[in-house]
Structure 1
């Protein structure tokens, strides 16, 4: 060992992680189901098997997996653009909407820049921000479990580069009304990018949230973020997209990992757009179960926000949260707990809804 391999104290010198990475909280995914009789309601996955036409497209594309995918995802971008009445130059794709979000933060934020978002919201937000060396600015939700846009506006400083608006919000399910976002945008600096994260928009009732594309057309600093993971059922293939001004979208494509969206994922997404009617029919079933579950839980005394996602939210303290998780575990139902905040339950089929109701029927809800 030479002198360059030892420190002055004689200790071995080794590579070390960045301090931002050492202190980074790990993303906590929903637990995987173990056993055929387990209801997997922790990850907001689509409980339906893939649509037959989508599965066929993936099987056909698998025969060419020895070739690199189209790095520019041109055909997919053109199909998304046609569906949304934008141009392909305004569309960027990535490995899930979270992958595109990482491209957004990487493309816009230098070290020390700030990203403002509601909390609690999507678990990956602070992780991606800190990984980029930027500063996460968490703004507490309002009393109705939704975004407090006045407080978010007040949290914007000269260092703010991005604002994230999750609608419907994950994990609470509460959407943001169109007129509220419009007023927020009118009072915001035009050099701040506002990302409207709509991972669950296909589960929302018409008019419950914003017309995000209309806002995008009016405000050049709006970016719309969506995914094929949820309602389209492509969680295992990882493909999402953003609609943004051509210069921003081009920057997102530049910051993307080369070939990050596989050929199978691209073809599955295109086939999913062709199978829109099937997706809508399945989503309608989830909406019906969501309404039935919310009505039943309120009848049992639980306070449940009016969710527009494929999940419902129960605000609890840690003691009750622990009891809930234990009760669900004993009943073979997997749900997602958030320390200090509550429990999120994915909506699936009617049998799963019945199991959730049976568990909560035996637990006294908190007093508010």
Structure 2
């Protein structure tokens, strides 16, 4: 046990920390038969492609050197893939690292950051660490309420996150609603279209953020290599926007925070896109199968456009998470709200569906 007097002798910590709860990955689970299925973190169930493994192995021989701090080769590759100028792109340590760069470039203490809730868990953490006030706007039927979010903007608002598809509900906002929202946001307020799951979207009414950002200097698009590209463990993401905005964001980059192995792997992944997109299509097909099976069991499931599904469980959430864990299936349970379940391999998905069917509180 710690000595109560230690508090008096400790450094003075920021008051913002009192509002934060550490991000805690789920505990390892295992069934009585020894099975363990990890469906809590929205990871790709597929390992790196051969070309990506080769790039990782080759880059590993140079880890005694500092990486390219400007990520020049990777930015060039992204530029060619998206057909946008290199000056419109900045790279960071995963989408979370890029989000932190955005906040550091835009937000002063006392400013406001608006986002929907429930949404990506990192938003409240990063917002409060930046010294800003978090303005959380409730979802409406699991979807961003863009009208209410626009109404929540004040003269103190400096940044707005729009997670599309939304994590953890998997829902999307459509083009006309999003354009109307962007038209209402003041020019001095930065809107971040977080498209971490863009590759899994099959709803044609959901717009490509890159198109919306073309003529709007206050709109940037956030993407990642962690999901569809299967590089979650290497932590690499990027943001696309107006050169003036990107130039400011690059100033907030933590030097050498994107390592050389990650840069090489991301380049190889972009060059292996046809194979990777075949894996994405397999995940989309499994998402459909899992969603239909859950509906047949009686569950209420949103129409997900991401690589996970969301079950609205309310007070049953913790019991459902524990039940799945006892069956060897790890899911992400948000107490009092619902459970997010990643789409894994067919075998993993079958294990989850069996656990869901056996839950005593099933509808």
TM-score tier after normalising by the smaller chain length = over 0.9
Contact 1:310 1:347 in 2 (8 A): yes
Task: Give SS of 1:218's match.
Answer: coil
Give the whole-Å Cα distance in 1 for the aligned partners of 2:8 and 2:186. Answer: 50
> Counterpart in 2 of 1:4?
none
Contact 1:31 1:43 in 2 (8 A): no
Give the whole-Å Cα distance in 1 for the aligned partners of 2:28 and 2:273. Answer: 28
Determine whether 1:268 maps to 2:255. no
Query: Per the alignment, do residues 365 and 187 of structure 1 end up closer, same or farther by CA in structure 2, a change over 3 Å counting?
Result: farther
TM-score w.r.t. the length of structure 2 is 0.94
1:22 positional shift: 3.4
Determine whether 1:18 maps to 2:17. no
TM-score w.r.t. the length of structure 1 is 0.93
> Counterpart in 2 of 1:112?
110
Of 154, 178, 181 in structure 1, the residue corresponding to residue 178 of structure 2 is 181
Q: Point out where structure 2 has 5 or more consecutive residues left out of the alignment.
A: none
Map 1:172-211 → 2, pairs under 5 A: 172-205=169-202, 207-211=204-208
> Counterpart in 2 of 1:218?
215
1:347 positional shift: 0.4
Of 273, 282, 287 in structure 2, the residue corresponding to residue 285 of structure 1 is 282
Of 123, 127, 132 in structure 1, the residue corresponding to residue 125 of structure 2 is 127
Task: Give SS of 1:289's match.
Answer: helix
1:206 positional shift: 5.3
Contact 1:316 1:366 in 2 (8 A): no
Of 325, 328, 340 in structure 2, the residue corresponding to residue 344 of structure 1 is 340
Tell me how many residue pairs correspond in the alignment.
356
1:26 positional shift: 1.2
Give the whole-Å Cα distance in 2 for the aligned partners of 1:88 and 1:33. Answer: 44
Determine whether 1:170 maps to 2:167. yes
Contact 1:61 1:267 in 2 (8 A): yes
Give the whole-Å Cα distance in 2 for the aligned partners of 1:32 and 1:231. Answer: 23
Give the whole-Å Cα distance in 1 for the aligned partners of 2:29 and 2:205. Answer: 32
Contact 1:39 1:352 in 2 (8 A): yes
1:361 positional shift: 1.3
Give the whole-Å Cα distance in 2 for the aligned partners of 1:63 and 1:33. Answer: 35
Give the whole-Å Cα distance in 2 for the aligned partners of 1:260 and 1:108. Answer: 20
> Counterpart in 2 of 1:361?
357
Give the whole-Å Cα distance in 2 for the aligned partners of 1:250 and 1:136. Answer: 25
Say what the alpha-carbon RMSD is for the aligned residues: 1.7
1:321 positional shift: 1.1
Query: Per the alignment, do residues 117 and 12 of structure 1 end up closer, same or farther by CA in structure 2, a change over 3 Å counting?
Result: closer
Give the whole-Å Cα distance in 2 for the aligned partners of 1:184 and 1:85. Answer: 26
> Counterpart in 2 of 1:29?
25
Give the whole-Å Cα distance in 2 for the aligned partners of 1:303 and 1:191. Answer: 40
Contact 1:77 1:91 in 2 (8 A): yes
Task: Give SS of 2:232's match.
Answer: coil
> Counterpart in 1 of 2:99?
101
1:23 positional shift: 3.0
> Counterpart in 2 of 1:141?
139
Map 1:149-160 → 2, pairs under 5 A: 149-160=146-157
Contact 1:316 1:341 in 2 (8 A): yes
The Cα offsets for residues 253-295 of structure 1, whole Å up to 9 and x where unpaired, read as 1111100000000000000100001110000000011000000
Give the whole-Å Cα distance in 2 for the aligned partners of 1:168 and 1:159. Answer: 27
Give the whole-Å Cα distance in 1 for the aligned partners of 2:272 and 2:307. Answer: 20
Give the whole-Å Cα distance in 1 for the aligned partners of 2:321 and 2:361. Answer: 14
Of 319, 324, 338 in structure 2, the residue corresponding to residue 328 of structure 1 is 324
> Counterpart in 2 of 1:62?
60
Task: Give SS of 1:153's match.
Answer: helix
Contact 1:302 1:365 in 2 (8 A): no
